[in-house]
Structure 1
């Protein structure tokens, strides 16, 4: 059976303050082995489906549309930076979310749309963030820790969440390419 690697996410167009701090971070970590996310691909994953049988794609689109039809658009604040993994050997660099209540609700609704279709519950608790880079090897993690501490409470960007996108993730040697399969507009109430 043919399948596609899929996920559901929201996008963000990177603006001035986030872009400036991200550039500072890249410059600081220039000599480390980090796979940076392309700014044009920056997204927040709400639900990762993984290998999805192609015969379920249309059903997933319909279920997402049905579940999201009354979920109003909202705004979030990107605030501060952090890492996943041990502080001495972090694995992921991310930008955080200050007001995640609506994102948590959105995650539950997306899960309600997908789980009845035979997909498994996410293995980890939903922790909304924007992944900026994946660390392959880092020489001096203290520089990153200092940067994170210095920028921990800084507001980086306001984002209007007015659509949810069902994506196909195509893995290539140069990095993943994300192809929208369905964009669901959230009503403004």
Structure 2
């Protein structure tokens, strides 16, 4: 099972992001129903690990997360693979991130040592694609602030046309 944990975006935020995607000249847009903010990507895991994660996450308590998206970003290092909007790493978001990581360690998972760069991916890029048009389209992007009230455990199914995300469980915030 290819798993990840993500902050769910309110429907009005996903709709606003989809309108931004319509202005982007290149890249393959992430489907509106797949828009999220990843807290932890876990890769391929056995089913019993998913169950252990669920048991740990269902007891996690954290406040709702105010979300402010701004600032176009190229993601994926030097060979940018995606375009998105960065999220402010305010205290509630960082608190949720830290608590999720604690639960992952508690389930026996070894986590990558990588800086948390909160963002929402809007489009995937093919190798060597020039994303300057996407960045220009997002330069003046405005997405109204949102309050995220849940996060979830997801399974990602890879297909030729992109990933399909299946919600395995959701967890309330607040």
Alignment TM-score > 0.5, same fold: yes
Local SS of the residue matching 2:21: helix
Q: Kindly indicate whether residue 62 of structure 2 is the aligned counterpart of residue 75 of structure 1.
A: no
Q: Is the 8 A contact 1:6 1:166 kept in 2?
A: yes
Q: 1:178 to 1:19 in 2, by over 3 A?
A: closer
Q: TM-score, normalised by structure 2?
A: 0.85
Q: Kindly indicate whether residue 16 of structure 2 is the aligned counterpart of residue 10 of structure 1.
A: no
Q: TM-score, normalised by structure 1?
A: 0.79
Q: Kindly indicate whether residue 115 of structure 2 is the aligned counterpart of residue 125 of structure 1.
A: yes
Q: 1:39 to 1:121 in 2, by over 3 A?
A: same
Q: Is the 8 A contact 1:48 1:122 kept in 2?
A: no
Instruction: State the Cα RMSD in Å.
Output: 2.1
- Aligned pairs for 1:10-159 (under 5 A) are 10-12=7-9, 13=11, 14-16=14-16, 18-25=17-24, 28-29=25-26, 34-66=27-59, 68-69=60-61, 71-84=62-75, 85-86=77-78, 90-137=80-127, 140-148=130-138, 150-151=139-140, 154-159=141-146
Q: 1:94 to 1:118 in 2, by over 3 A?
A: same
Local SS of the residue matching 2:104: helix
Q: 1:74 to 1:144 in 2, by over 3 A?
A: closer
Q: Is the 8 A contact 1:36 1:134 kept in 2?
A: yes
What is the total number of aligned residue pairs between the two structures? 170
- Structure 2: any 5+ residue segments left out of the alignment? none
**Larger of the two Rg values belongs to structure:** 1
Task: Point out the structure with the larger strand share.
Answer: 1
- Structure 1: any 5+ residue segments left out of the alignment? none
